[in-house]
Chain A
């Protein structure tokens, strides 16, 4: 059974810093890994989808990497802004489109 963990649970950084969020999964037989952002009281917004054959994906200031063999993915946020404050979740997807989520990392970017 797939289990997904995220470290740290919460992170507070000053504006402008680069930061890394970590996601670990126990079953390396994933088909993809998706990173989401969730603002308080809102649904999940898809940020990046990394296919199992890819090592990384980039969108603007975001870069996500995937290492299936070690069961890890990282989300790198460059030059953080207060508007980046949110909870970031990762989800590991299998062949049957079943996604298992981590508990999330709550990010606060201080002006």
Chain B
């Protein structure tokens, strides 16, 4: 079974530029997550999709961040314009929503390391 795919793996941009990240979840996983992980911290949820609908985007800085999952499969996360504090690793994860939610398990991609100069 192929894992969660993300690209690019690394990105360096200057502040005020825009950037986009792509994620392809494990086949059949209806739930997709984007997390931001700042160095030395645990991942922080940015947005959660169920198929192509948004379940939770309460921590997404909507003035500069946007995400979409148009066909309920792969997803893109965009930052425009980027700030210095956006330097972090952006992780994508997916899960298969089981009838018993206690079985829900997340699987992560390798992440995209963003550096904003």
Contacts and interface: CB of A to CB of B under 8 A. Distances in A.
B91 A44 contact: yes
A51 B98 CA distance: 13
Contacts of B4: 43
Interface string B81-117: 0000000000101010100011111111111010000
The size bracket of the interface on B is 20 to 34
A99 B45 contact: yes
Interface stretch (A14-22, A75-83, A89-97): A89-97
A103 B40 contact: yes
A111 interface: no
A97 B113 contact: no
A31 B56 contact: no
A41 B106 contact: no
Contacts, number: 73
Contacts of A89: 42-43
The size bracket of the interface on A is 20 to 34
A97 B43 contact: no
B109 A46 contact: no
Contact of A98 (B48, B105, B113): B48
Interface of B: 4, 6, 31, 33, 35, 40-45, 48, 55-56, 91, 93, 95, 97, 101-111, 113
Interface of A: 4, 31-32, 34, 36, 41-46, 49, 51-53, 89, 91, 93, 95-104
